[in-house]
Amino acid sequence: MIRIETAAVSDAPEITRLFEALITEITDRTESQQPLFSLSGTEEKCASFIESGIYAVLLARDEASGETIGFLSLCESHSLYASGAFGIIQECYVQSDYRSRGVGARLLSAAQHYGQTLGWKRLEVATPPLPVFHRSVSFYEQHGFERTGGSKLKSIIP
Is the per-residue pLDDT at 150 higher than 90? no
Helices and strands counted in the chain (H then E)? 4, 5
Higher pLDDT, 135 or 117: 117
Percentage, residues of the chain above pLDDT 90: 74
Domain borders along the chain are 2-142
* Position 134 confidence tier, pLDDT thresholds 50, 70, 90: confident
* Position 31 confidence tier, pLDDT thresholds 50, 70, 90: confident
pTM: 0.92
Cβ(14)–Cβ(59) under 8 Å?
Answer: yes
Complete edge-to-edge strand list for the sheet that includes strand 68-79: 2-6, 56-62, 68-79, 84-94, 123-125
Is the per-residue pLDDT at 129 higher than 90? no
If you average pLDDT over every residue of the chain, what do you get?
92
Report how far residue 130's alpha carbon sits from residue 94's, in angstroms, rounded to the nearest whole number.
19
Is the per-residue pLDDT at 30 higher than 90? no
The tens digit of pLDDT for each residue in 60-110 reads 999 999 999 999 999 999 999 999 999 999 999 999 999 999 999 999 999
Measured torsion, CA atoms of residues 143, 145, 142, 12, in degrees rounded to the nearest 10: -50
* Position 36 confidence tier, pLDDT thresholds 50, 70, 90: low
**Burial class for 43, CB neighbours closer than 10 Å (0-12, 13-18, 19+):** middle
Q: Which of 112, 132, 120, 124 is nearest to 150 (CA)?
A: 124
Report how far residue 27's alpha carbon sits from residue 103's, in angstroms, rounded to the nearest whole number.
23
**Which pLDDT score is estimated for 112?**
97
Cβ(88)–Cβ(54) under 8 Å?
Answer: no
**Which pLDDT score is estimated for 32?**
77
CATH number belonging to domain 2-142: 3.40.630.30
